[in-house]
Amino acid sequence: MLYNGLCKLQKAIREHVMNIETVSKLRGETLNRWIALMKASGLDHNTRTERTVLVWDGDELIASGGRDGGILKMLAVSPTRQGEDLLSTVLTELKKDAFEEGHTHLFLYTKPSNKLIFKSLFFYPVAETENVLVMENKRDGIKSFVSELPKDVDSKLSGAIVMNCNPFTLGHRYLIEKAASECDRVYVFVLSEEGNGFSAKDRLAMVKLGTADLKNVTVLQTGPYMISAATFPTYFLKDRDLADTVHCDVDIEIFLKYLVPHLSISRRYVGTEPLSPMTNKYNEALKKKLPAAGVMLCEIERKENCGIPISASAVRRLASEGNTEELKKIVPKTTYDYLIDNDLI
């Protein structure tokens, strides 16, 4: 009884002196204190977030956490203040801030060694590799998402393509046509993540319009479970050179663990990648991991225009220049019409 009373008193005293704030930008001495906390916690202090929770004890920054949209990151507690339930305090504030902005489905990326800590705080594993653990705040969230994906139960040979399509080009169309000619059913997953270029809504619409005539093609969204390397959190990695590899490993783990068994996928199609070293590295990782899981990787030569591989970045450049004549040569009519009709060029 006496011990419990003392614990409650100590907690009340801590909460009385602690000051918690949520800010959009870190400046001056606050930034310096935050950097010091990140370094002490072994985290990359060069990573910035949209919103940051700061927990102060007087003028000492004792805990912090950040948020980009629905992704929680930069979670740290001072090494001298472990065991005080400060991580729970940070997460509570981050959740409250996220919910106020309409982000109710939250994710965090951390070291696998932190699994039990975050499970005790009601986060649930999505995927785990040697270097990273992905968790969400919805129990069986990814299983529910996958269970709702339409499945062609009559397909004897199903293939899959994962694309950004920013925007949908003749190169994308060529790859999908190739897969459709070889499979009974092709599932085209379009990244749902918002980023630079065209919105997720516009990208999805252009893919659906551009493949409407291919009756064995089903266009789906990835939801929040597959994100680009550009936004993949790597703040907790000591070896910065591992960043691209870790992103590939997680992406492939989610694909093999959830999408492949539910949709009975036996082939995955990708285009050759002469322009992007990062995407080429991803293709190499697929070559190593997919066959071991019983999935064939089909790498198709990129479609070219005048000897140059067609790329979405070239489309965006031509669109920004207003060069519609050259743009027409590398996008389907459906894409061009959509861009014009929606004042996107």
What is the pLDDT, as a whole number, of residue 226?
Answer: 86
More confident position, 274 or 150 = 150
Alpha helices in the chain (DSSP H): 2-17, 28-40, 86-100, 115-119, 141-147, 170-182, 200-210, 243-254, 260-263, 277-289, 312-321, 324-327, 333-341
> 296-323 burial, b for 16+ CB within 10 Å, e for fewer?
eebebebbeeeeebbbbebbbebbeeee
Structural domains for the chain? 13-104 (3.40.630.30), 144-341 (3.40.50.620)
With a cut of 70, say whether residue 59 has pLDDT above it: yes
pLDDT (mean) for 280-305: 93
Give CA angle at 180 (169, 307), nearest 5°. 40
Mean pLDDT check: name the lowest of 56-70, 121-135, 203-217, 269-283: 269-283
Beta bridge partners of 268: 160, 297
Question: How many helical (H) and strand (E) elements, i.e. helices and strands, does the chain have?
Answer: 13, 14
pTM above 0.85, yes or no: yes
With a cut of 80, say whether residue 4 has pLDDT above it: no
Question: Percent of the chain beyond pLDDT 70?
Answer: 93
With a cut of 80, say whether residue 88 has pLDDT above it: yes
What is the pLDDT, as a whole number, of residue 287?
Answer: 94
pLDDT tens digits, 160-203:
999 999 999 999 999 999 999 999 999 999 999 887 789 999 99
Question: CA-to-CA distance for 196 and 10, rounded, in angstroms?
Answer: 48
Residue pointed to by tokens 């009974």: 184
What is the pLDDT, as a whole number, of residue 240?
Answer: 59
Please tell me whether residue 23 adopts helix, strand or coil conformation.
strand
Residue among 213, 226, 245 at smallest CA distance from 333: 213
What is the pLDDT, as a whole number, of residue 204?
Answer: 97
What's the pLDDT band for 233 if we cut at 50, 70, 90?
Answer: confident
What is the pLDDT, as a whole number, of residue 15?
Answer: 52
What is the four-CA torsion angle of 125, 129, 130, 133, rounded to 10 degrees?
-30
DSSP state of 40: H
What is the pLDDT, as a whole number, of residue 298?
Answer: 97
pLDDT (mean) for 304-316: 92
What's the pLDDT band for 44 if we cut at 50, 70, 90?
Answer: confident
Mean pLDDT check: name the lowest of 10-19, 34-43, 171-180: 10-19
More confident position, 236 or 154 = 154
Mean pLDDT check: name the lowest of 2-16, 47-61, 177-191: 2-16
More confident position, 276 or 267 = 267
Question: CA-to-CA distance for 152 and 148, rounded, in angstroms?
Answer: 12
Residue among 235, 269, 305 at smallest CA distance from 158: 269
Beta bridge partners of 132: none
What's the pLDDT band for 273 if we cut at 50, 70, 90?
Answer: confident
pLDDT (mean) for 302-319: 92
- Alpha-carbon distance values, 232 to 37, 93, 223, 250 (Å): 22, 22, 15, 10
What is the pLDDT, as a whole number, of residue 46?
Answer: 80
What's the pLDDT band for 3 if we cut at 50, 70, 90?
Answer: low
Question: CA-to-CA distance for 134 and 126, rounded, in angstroms?
Answer: 5
What is the pLDDT, as a whole number, of residue 47?
Answer: 78
Q: What is the mean pLDDT of the chain?
A: 90
- Alpha-carbon distance values, 161 to 191, 287, 293 (Å): 11, 14, 17
